[in-house]
Amino acid sequence: MSEPILTVEDLKVTFDTRQGRKWPWSPMKKVHAVNGVSLSLERGRTLGVVGESGCGKSTLIRAIAGLVTPTGGTVTLEGRAVDYGSRADVLALRHKVQMIFQDPVASLNPRMTVREIVSEPTRRFRGDLDPEAQDKLVHDLLDRVGIAQRNFNRYPHEFSGGQCQRIGIARALAVNPKILLCDEPVSALDVSIQAQVVNLLRELQAEMGLSLIFVAHDLGVVRHISDDILVMYMGGMMEKGESDALVRTPRHPYTQALLSSVPVPDPNVIVEPQVLEGDLPSPLNLPEGCLFQSRCPKRQDACKATKPALLAAGGREVACHFAE
């Protein structure tokens, strides 16, 4: 196993909020968006991150990219810890780590043409290229993602959502990054277009040796593209392991519930989805024990008393006292 290109250790992100205060002069409350997540990403591999809305998936990768400042933990890129308070470190991070966003249209500047959108990062980060070489790079990237040359001078509103996402991918690749952080890049697209974008990412990964962190709600999509999967709930880690093994034999009750909701493309196979009962805990006041205890069908007294550690079970890591 090769040395990881990216390592995250005990990453935490909290936000101050006025919600839940009794009086205007009461202290600010803290929302625990990411609560002690650790992961590693190897070169050329894809880590899928799944979970319900509000579980901290997007905040996690935004913190890695420096768009949100972590409040705890360390991020190590190519063996060097990233100092998010250092402008030089953040600029170096931008060169090596790029993001693809959920809303493909909103992520593009409506006042710039496609050519200008993709060429802008080359002027900032590819000073080793002369203007002619930069222009050739832009043409090659747009052609590679399926945008015809006759459309280079058009504006984002003249393209479909799938085409805008392809333009966003070309823009991310313009700086020759080593890691792509994909924040639900296909959730706003039609199913047929989703498959095209996912296959494009896989092809580009193979050609350029990219490492990916792919965030999504749909475990079916994540399984298709990911080598490893991390399951999150309320900012914490529930289960982490190799993709096929985790999908075949999920150990954590939350992972089992997520997988039961994935449609099976076989009319002869009937899978009853597990309906989770109980209420979500408040991110302002997380429970002392297991984060999933209020909705877990297997909860016992130990779940309320002690927070389960992420331990090896069945060839992966599971945060459950009673992992199967």
Which backbone phi and psi does 179 adopt, to 5 degrees?
-135, 135
pLDDT on residue 171: 95
- Determine the average pLDDT of the residues in 3-16: 93
Look at residues 256, 259, 293, 255 and name the one whose alpha carbon lies nearest to residue 277.
293
Pairing of the two strands 179-183 and 211-216: parallel
Q: Is the pLDDT of residue 275 over 80?
A: no
Q: Is the pLDDT of residue 94 over 80?
A: yes
For the stretch 80-90, pLDDT in tens is 999 999 999 99
Write down the pTM of the prediction: 0.90
Domains, in order of start, for the chain: 6-318 (3.40.50.300)
DSSP 45: -
pLDDT on residue 108: 94
pLDDT on residue 282: 81
- Determine the average pLDDT of the residues in 304-309: 88
Least confident of 37-51, 221-235, 267-281, 308-322: 267-281
Q: Is the pLDDT of residue 21 over 90?
A: no
pLDDT on residue 269: 59
Report the distance separating Cα 24 and Cα 141, nearest Å: 53
Q: Is the pLDDT of residue 118 over 90?
A: yes
- Determine the average pLDDT of the residues in 152-165: 93
Q: Is the pLDDT of residue 32 over 90?
A: no
pLDDT on residue 298: 86
Q: Is the pLDDT of residue 30 over 70?
A: yes
pLDDT on residue 139: 93
- Determine the average pLDDT of the residues in 153-173: 94
Q: How many helices (H) and strands (E) does the chain have?
A: 10, 12
pLDDT on residue 265: 63
Tell me the C-alpha to C-alpha distance, in Å, between residue 216 and each of 51, 168, 224, 237, 288.
8, 17, 12, 15, 28
Report residue 218's pLDDT band, with 50, 70 and 90 as the boundaries: confident
**What is the DSSP code string of 121-138?**
HHHHH-TTS-HHHHHHHH
Look at residues 208, 239, 207 and name the one whose alpha carbon lies nearest to residue 308.
239
- Determine the average pLDDT of the residues in 293-308: 88
Report residue 270's pLDDT band, with 50, 70 and 90 as the boundaries: low
pLDDT on residue 209: 93
Q: Is the pLDDT of residue 214 over 60?
A: yes
Mean pLDDT of the chain: 88
pLDDT on residue 278: 75
Least confident of 77-81, 141-145, 235-239, 303-307: 303-307
For the stretch 194-208, pLDDT in tens is 889 999 999 999 999
Check residues 224 and 214 and name the one with the higher pLDDT: 214
